[in-house]
Amino acid sequence: MLLSIRDFQEADYPEVSKIYKDGIDTGIATFETEVPDFKNWNLRFYQSCRLVAILDSEVVGWAALSLVSKRNVYSGVAEVTIYVSQKHQGQKIGSLLMKKLIAKSEEEGFWTLTAHIFPQNKSSIHLHLKYDFKVLGVHEKIAKRDNKWEDNILLERRSTKIF
């Protein structure tokens, strides 16, 4: 089995959307309850920092950045999104995606990466901490999912290459 990380292509979206749906179904990966169509997904994520993990020609994970603000002063700040298919979790795919996403983000001039993670999503928190994200705090009852208030752990990583 050969795993590779490459830039996302529009033709990858059907597989990406299935992996996204698996994450939504866990109830601890996102506040989203439905997978967006490609047009809306495409608007959400920064164009050049989108990656897919390919294992034996199958998309098994994806990562992307979304801008936290349209204001120019925050142009170097983005939020990380990483998903790995259910059947391929625990195989370090998320780690490989994170490593490549960080490198690509720094090439693009991002100096701060953020993440907002449900406290129940221990594996995602662990992944971010492994790559030098720091816990800044907890957004208590920040939003509702399935009509229930949920908290988010706020994490941040500062680039050592940009400063």
Domains of the chain (ranges plus CATH)? 3-158 (3.40.630.30)
Mean of all residue pLDDT scores within the chain? 96
Pair 30, 90: CB distance under 8 Å: no
List the beta bridge partners of residue 11. Answer: none
pLDDT band at 161 (very low <50, low <70, confident <90, very high): confident
Classified as helix, coil or strand, 39 is helix
> 132 or 161: which carries more pLDDT confidence?
132
pTM metric for this prediction: 0.95
Count of beta carbons in the 10 Å neighbourhood of residue 6 = 12
Token reading at 36: 């967006």
Question: What's the CA gap between 125 and 119, in Å, rounded?
Answer: 8
Alpha carbon distances (Å) from 58 to 13, 37, 61, 63 = 12, 20, 9, 15
pLDDT at 61: 98
